[in-house]
Amino acid sequence: MSALGRFLRNPAGLIGLVLLLLVLAAAVSASFFYPDDPLRLAGRPLQWPFANPRFPLGTDNTGRDIAAQLLHGARISLLIGVVATLLSLSIGVAVGAIAGYYGGWVDDALMRVAEMFQILPNFLLLLVLVAVFGSEIGTVTVAIGIVSWPATARLTRAEFLTLRQREFVEACRTLGMRDARIILGEILPNALPPVIVYAGVVMATAILLESALAFLNLSDPNVASWGNLIGAGRAVLRVQWYVSAIPGLAILLTVLAVSLVGQGLNDALNPRLKGTP
């Protein structure tokens, strides 16, 4: 059975895929349902959901439409998730591949650099980067990518360490193949499956990191992100809890979707790890 076939037969992966498509649909349809700026003042503040047909999910404490922010926020969350993950993967895979393939002092040097990033908790490092470079949404995304590459690098390196000793790699060397081609063309395709699976974890973490920043009012205040909405709702948490709860639920579902898809990919790409049913 093909990897795709296995993925589609996996209930967890399928649920994740459906949820992810829903989030994607929300992001795509945001401009259609709410063509105006989601951050404009739309009506009386703190209207409960379902109370006013104009605002199906109510308004927040400054009178902005929660539904509009929710749909537009899906864009931001997905954008941050995808871009930060790609960044983290490209740095991580490049560093891990070179360190794992060459070993020796190259490996030592690159892994010490990776450790410098890992010594600080991700979030603290992110706070430092945002404090230094500012909190525009682009900067925040890059910063998230930068704090999350070392784990990808370690995973790629571990794969390369075992694969480079395999005889098929030695065979390529005896055929007169260049290192770059061995790394990219021969080893990398064999090393990728676990990295792709891990990308799900990176993406979920990236979305959570941005929300956490926004909750501390350290993310870009000029975009409608879920984290910003939660942060705004903090002031009225005890009575109008829905202001924080609705975007919180959205984050929960998105992260769950990404994790489930990752899990499904894992089962589909590494069928032997699951054992015979």
Interacting residue ranges for another protein, rule: CB under 8 A: 166-168, 170-178, 186, 189-190, 276
Contact indicator for 135, 219 with CB cutoff of 8 Å: yes
Residue closer to another protein, measured from CB, 9 or 173 = 173
- How far apart are alpha carbons 264 and 270 in whole angstroms? 10
CB of 187 to another protein, least distance (A): 9
> Least distance in Å: CB of 150 to another protein?
26
Round to whole Å and give the CA distance between 259 and 183. Answer: 29
> 269: how many CB neighbours lie within 10 A of its CB?
16
CB of 169 to another protein, least distance (A): 8
Q: Which two tokens stand for residue 225?
A: 């992100």
> Which of residues 6 and 245 has its CB atom nearest to another protein in the complex?
6
Residue number with CB closer to another protein (53 or 189): 189
CA 107/CA 62 separation, integer angstroms = 53
Give the tokens for residue 162: 């075992």
The span from the CA of 121 to the CA of 104, in Å, is 28
Q: Please, which residue, 40 or 178, has the CB nearer to another protein?
A: 178
User: At its nearest, how many Å lie between another protein and the CB of residue 97?
Assistant: 16
Minimum CB distance to another protein smaller for 167 or for 239: 167
The residues facing 122 across adjacent strands are: none
Find the shortest distance in angstroms from Cβ 115 to another protein: 19
